[in-house]
Homo-oligomer: A and B are copies of this chain.
Amino acid sequence: MKPVKVGLLGLGTVGGGTVNVLRRNAEEITRRAGRGIVISHAAARSLDKPRLCDTTGIRLTTDPNEVVDDPGVDVVVELIGGYDLARELVLRAIANGKHVVTANKALIAKYGNEIFAAASRQGVVVAFEAAVAGGIPIIKAIREGLAGNRIEWLAGIINGTGNFILTEMRDKGREFADVLAEAQRFGYAEADPTFDVEGIDAAHKLTILASIAFGIPLQFEHAYTEGITRITPTDVTYAEQLGYRIKHLGMARRVESGIELRVHPTLIPERRLIANVDGVMNAVLVQGDAVGPTLYYGAGAGAEATASAVVADLVDVVRVLTTDPNNRVPHLAFQADALSDLPILPMEQVQTAYYLRLQAEDSPGVLADITRILGDQGISIEAVLQKEPSEGQSHVPLIFLTQRTLEAKMNGAIDAIEALECISGQVVRIRLEHLDSHR
């Protein structure tokens, strides 16, 4: 059978990795797919930049439309990133009847509903395994591997840069800004690190995971996002003394009234496997009603790790080239006409446990004031850690772990605590998830 011809949009890190993996493993990939896969066309912004890969035999152009419009291209692989140009090119490829593989989480999180609808009308596939957690086959695992389950919740460390920073802060007691600067020097973090450290990148990926887990349309605009820029070595240390690690976690949970969808720094019990996922590695913990907890771990970024997911999608596309379109795995795991309209809950309606750190006067009655405020809101205390005042300091750090409560109640309690005369400055609040099977 003739090989399948692939047109690449973008010849940067992941594009170069994809060319290299397809070349190096051509024989094994053909043995699996039953048909060869070759890159026949590629578009890049500049044609005379040094490349990760050998481009011999690939028809190069600076105009991505040439790739998208070429009748010789069977599948378009979109690796240029960003929102608008990517959307335009992907929709144009679909309109031309081409299957699409993309690693672009921003595109899928924001325009996925529109793109999948267009793909369904045209009878083509849009595959996006590489958009979440790099080479970990997490989309396939949830969409197909756990198809028998009602997914109850999932929690992911899905931004390698953020996890690298938090791991370094913990291992070496260093400040956030300090580690970020180093990560930028090593190329682990972008010059503008906003997407990573503010949790936007993680929220893109979480939005996608929540859709395929719960059968809901993509709703990035309703995701709650909080970054790691205000995490201090102090909080990392106190968390550790209490038996927890701080991770930048994406959580999606089905509760009676809707879906929790949130990315924020989170304390996790140190004995959980996912609490020990360090450095730039990613992991997603999925709780299904039949299978219980399952965890998927691997590299969340990098040229060849991401290429691994791109090529897996290409192999899947090769197989579906002759499949009845009505019988394929649906883009969002559930049939397009069977998505549900469960609401994404506003953060005030979300329940979690909390770590609170505050600076209190070292005087009797302070603890009673705070516990009364928490009690008034119906918030139960799990643990209190009272540290000795430093030499010459009138205020002492007080750390509370609470049981699960509504975010709205915690907001009320924190307002009341900060209004106390005996409290100095703001309350540090970090959410805490036990990630046990039951919730």
Chain A residues engaging chain B, CB cutoff 8 angstroms: 17, 21-22, 24-25, 28-34, 129, 134-137, 140-141, 143-150, 215, 273, 276-277, 288-299, 302, 304-305, 307-312, 314-316, 319, 321-324, 326-330, 333-335, 338
Contact = CB atoms under 8 A, between A and B. Distances in A.
Nearest to A329: B319
A237 B368 CA distance: 47
Copies of this chain, tallied across the complex: 2
A25 B321 contact: no
Given A144-B140, A319-B327, A324-B322, A289 B24 contact: yes
Nearest to A297: B295
Contact of A297 (B294, B309, B312, B316): B294
Nearest to A141: B137
Contact of A32 (B276, B310, B315, B335): B335
Nearest to A282: B294
What 7 A-B pairs are tightest by C-beta distance, nearest first? A137-B145, A148-B311, A135-B291, A294-B298, A291-B308, A31-B338, A295-B297
A17 B312 contact: no
17 contacts: A21-B148, A21-B290, A25-B148, A25-B149, A30-B338, A31-B334, A34-B326, A34-B327, A135-B288, A135-B290, A137-B146, A140-B144, A273-B276, A290-B311, A294-B298, A295-B296, A295-B297
A28 B291 contact: no
A293 B146 CA distance: 22
